[in-house]
A and B are shown apart, each in its own frame.
Chain A
Amino acid sequence: ETGVTQSPTHLIKTRGQQVTLRCSSQSGHNTVSWYQQALGQGPQFIFQYYREEENGRGNFPPRFSGLQFPNYSSELNVNALELDDSALYLCASSYQGLGPYEQYFGPGTRLTVT
């Protein structure tokens, strides 16, 4: 059983550019959640995908969008990057079935916007 992986590990973009971050879920998981963690803060929920459909969204503008693929891997896309988008982006996968479930986190992608 493999864990959650994310790519790239880190990247630098310029204000106004677009970025795509990728997440590979843990085997058997059908749900992926994305979080933004600014320096010195806890992770903030961006959105969640369940079986390829968006299943809830936090307080983030529409320029943050995502996809979940049939193999349950996922992408986070951010358009028109702003300086405040600089953060660690975490994805977490889980299996949503009956009862409470645990989210397994990836190592994160550190995005720097200059």
Chain B
Amino acid sequence: AQRVTQPEKLLSVFKGAPVELKCNYSYSGSPELFWYVQYSRQRLQLLLRHISRESIKGFTADLNKGETSFHLKKPFAQEEDSAMYYCALMNRDDKIIFGKGTRLHILP
């Protein structure tokens, strides 16, 4: 079965503290993995994809095939990071499967 699991519905982190949003996937083969973000009153947008191996807004994510994980990390949280984050995978048919999302709340 193709599935994306985000175990935390809500994650509260103090400003300046490290952030880790967990994502595990189930997929036979090599999926393409993404993190999408939705800020308050804005549309869903791509944050980063694993093949780019880039850092966007200080966030990085490393694909761990052994653990089938793609956790999103940032060393120092900022208040503007508060948003809904969705982990997603693209299967070989180019269809995107989303997790249920984690709401990140940055505390002042």
Contact = CB atoms under 8 A, between A and B. Distances in A.
A1 interface: no
Contacts of B98: 35, 42-44
Interface of B: 4, 6, 9, 32, 43-46, 49, 51, 86, 88, 90, 93-101
Contact of A40 (B32, B95, B100): B100
A106 B93 contact: no
A45 B98 CA distance: 8
A42 B98 CA distance: 6
A68 to B, nearest CB: 15
A103 B97 contact: no
Interface of A: 4, 33, 35, 40-45, 48, 56, 58, 90, 92, 96, 100-108
21 contacts: A40-B100, A42-B4, A42-B86, A42-B88, A42-B98, A42-B100, A42-B101, A43-B86, A43-B96, A45-B95, A45-B96, A48-B94, A56-B94, A56-B95, A90-B44, A92-B44, A96-B94, A102-B49, A103-B46, A105-B43, A105-B45
